[in-house]
Structure 1
Amino acid sequence: MIAALLTGLLCIPWAQAETLRIATLNAELTRDGPGLLLRDIEQGRDPQVAALIQVVTAVAPDILLLQGVDYDLELRALDALRQQISKAGQDYPYVFARRPNTGWQTGHDQDGDGRLAEPEDAQGFGRFAGEGGMAILSRFALDAEAAQDFSTLLWRDLPGATLPRKNSQPFPSAQVQAALRLASVAQWVVPVRHPRGRLHLLTFHASAPVFDGPEDRNGLRNRDQLRFWQLYLDGAFGPAPARRYVLAGVTNQDPLDGEGRKAGIRDLLDDPRLIDPRPVRAGPAPDIPGHQTDPRLDTVAWPGPEPGHLRVSYILPSRDWQIAASGIYWPAEDTPEGTAAATASRHRMVWVDLQMRD
């Protein structure tokens, strides 16, 4: 029996035992009003929630970054979700979430349509405060006291910001621009107390670069939201971690396909401080006419040819990490696993396995 035990231990890949798996997913776990997500999770009958739990347990990340999750002040919905995932076998004792900009009304006509208090007039699109926020679930302790929240940074205060203009005038007005924050959802830097050393999660959810007019308000904002992270690493907002950090979230931007200003995402992917693991799905991807990005890299399946399949979710570790593996959880659609992934969200979970070099 002892010999068998030793044989089994020798078969364990020790490098894998020291691997940290980080995953991100735009879960689209939003409801029509506050409190409804908590209700659906607690009732235990919601097919989307059940499918999300199935995806999480299949990928089994050590740290999971979620976008598109309704926020409440006491984090009751997030805690209920964490408990349901734990019952399925994946334990996350630590969570982090702060109030997002979504649904936070500015008191101004942000989109210039002559109407006030619409979802478009909030700091980030939202029918109620906290709709579609962000959250972190982790096996390792999160240092909430040391976390940095850049969600209140005004867009105009970003160095080199390009604000929308119409007929050579600020759009919709200088007064409106003076109140608008850069982040449409949130921008966080959260330290993690890993047994082998401290690391930092840099996470965000950028605007969709569409749904506007020729002033290109959303396209410009998306580009500057991505540019923020390079400025942050430059030290423009105070000391930034020099090593062991991971930038992860939703850029809402494909480097080649779809709408939007491509400079923001291309510059981020080309930043020499970051690694793009280029995770791909395990199986074949559809052949999409006119598609320039390798379709195996796509992370979302929006309906129709526009916007269609795009690469919009990313995990970009700092250069000092060793990439052990990466992937996109996109099982074949004619399988139970594929049905669960599609039911959970139009987006797919992106994951990266990291190893510390020392």
Structure 2
Amino acid sequence: MGIPSGQYDHARHRHGAGGRDDPRQTPPRLRRSAYAGRLIRFLLALLLLTGTAQAEPLRIATFNTELSRKGPGLLLRDILRGDDPAVASVIETITSADPDIIALQGIDYDLEQAALNALADALSAAGAPYPHRFAAPPNAGRQSGVDLDGDGRLGTPRDAQGYGRFFGQGAMAILSRRPIQEGGLQDFSTLPWRDLPDTLYPMIDGAPFAGAEAHTTQRLSSNGHWSLPIQTPEGPVTLLTYHATPPVFDGPEDRNGRRNHDETIFWLHHLAGKIGTPPTPPFVLLGDANLDPERGDGRGEAIAALLSHPALQDPLPHRPTVNWPQTGPMRVDYILPSRDWKVRDAGLIWPKGESASRHALVWVDLTR
């Protein structure tokens, strides 16, 4: 893909039994303590093994699969056929990473989660089972009934709450090997953009872009903003995840650039307790921000503010995560654990194949 692949290393350190006793003859003066020595070594090995089991890292990943199709039901069809090269590349990439929990972007949503379940079944057949799955109705492709982009037409993809040719195009999902606590979900996807503190909603000569009705109707999230707890052996872990709109493909009003900025700045307000109930550590903020802190047309100060937030840590600073032909390597996909985590390892896996996603899968291994 034109970017050197990060060195991949399974950070799941599996340890076998301890070494054998020395078979040589024990000197007479030490024979009386031989049994005690073996017992001490056995107890030490047992303690080491127990400590290793407790310190087994939790691997969390995020991956923009770019599996979205041009019509409803087409992704499900292509997964079930079993011969689609893009689907095969996604399966290979996820199984190579072998995460415990993964946030997915670019996967089409349907009300029965048929496409997500089909992908999970394919992963299970490939040796990577994910019995727990989650997806909520997104803003992508959800028609608003209002001319949100101000072009004088209704019902276009840009008049949806989030860009989409159909409801659910290119949405988000979670796959997990740990139980998902849906009862603790905070879904901020319906938050009106105008209600974000210090919003950058575009104004033209003091009036809202595209009119008062668009200003009232437009939601902040182009896909969604979720706070979702997942149960692990060490206790619940909260995922804060989103997929922001690209900060391009608009006019001089910079509607998408401003919205992209605010979709990321949202998390600062949430962590400060201004919107919703802030997460109790441990938590992980992850997803596709579509925003590089230093390059591109977006307002990089938004993601820079998250990267420097005192409650968060950045395991992969300055590592590009996407390679777009028109821009070259950029960093847009992030995993930012809360400060109470110990980061054991982190890396990228670049998908293979001509039809592969242009995004790397980003993973991090965490312990408490």
TM-score range, shorter chain: 0.7 to 0.9
Alignment match, 2:31: none
Aligned equivalents of 1:171, 1:78: Cα separation in 2: 36
Aligned equivalents of 2:251, 2:355: Cα separation in 1: 32
Shift of 1:6: 4.3
TM-score by length of 2: 0.85
Aligned equivalents of 1:33, 1:135: Cα separation in 2: 18
Task: Give the structure with higher Rg (CA).
Answer: 2
**In the alignment, is residue 156 of structure 1 matched against residue 191 of structure 2?**
no
Task: Decide whether aligned partners of structure 1 residues 249 and 329 sit closer, same or farther in structure 2, where only a CA change above 3 A counts.
Answer: same
**In the alignment, is residue 50 of structure 1 matched against residue 88 of structure 2?**
yes
Alignment match, 1:329: 349
**In the alignment, is residue 273 of structure 1 matched against residue 285 of structure 2?**
no
8 Å contact 2:61–2:363 — kept in the other structure? Answer: yes
Alignment match, 2:73: 35
Alignment match, 1:192: 230
Aligned equivalents of 1:237, 1:110: Cα separation in 2: 24
CA offsets per residue over residues 149-192 of structure 1, 9 Å max, x none?
A: 10000001112212102233210112111000000001101101
Alignment match, 1:339: 352
TM-score by length of 1: 0.87
Q: Which of residues 344, 348, 352 is equivalent to 2:360?
A: 348
CA offsets per residue over residues 116-163 of structure 1, 9 Å max, x none?
A: 111011000000000011000001000012111100000011122121
Aligned partner letter, 1:323:
V
Aligned equivalents of 2:67, 2:136: Cα separation in 1: 16
Alignment match, 1:282: none
Superposed, which structure 2 residues align to 1:1-358 within 5 Å? 5-7=17-19, 14=52, 18-278=56-316, 294=318, 297-304=319-326, 307-330=327-350, 339-340=352-353, 343-356=355-368
- Aligned to 2:88, the other structure's residue is in SS state helix
CA RMSD between the two structures: 1.9
Aligned equivalents of 1:314, 1:115: Cα separation in 2: 36
Aligned equivalents of 2:72, 2:178: Cα separation in 1: 29
Shift of 1:261: 1.2
CA offsets per residue over residues 182-239 of structure 1, 9 Å max, x none?
A: 0000110110110111110000001111111111111111111111111111111232
Aligned equivalents of 1:104, 1:65: Cα separation in 2: 21
- Aligned to 1:344, the other structure's residue is in SS state coil
8 Å contact 2:186–2:276 — kept in the other structure? Answer: no
Identity of aligned residues (%): 52
- 4+ long deviations beyond 4 Å: 4-13
Aligned equivalents of 2:201, 2:70: Cα separation in 1: 31
Q: Which runs of 5+ in 1 are unaligned?
A: 280-293, 331-337
Task: Decide whether aligned partners of structure 1 residues 35 and 114 sit closer, same or farther in structure 2, where only a CA change above 3 A counts.
Answer: same
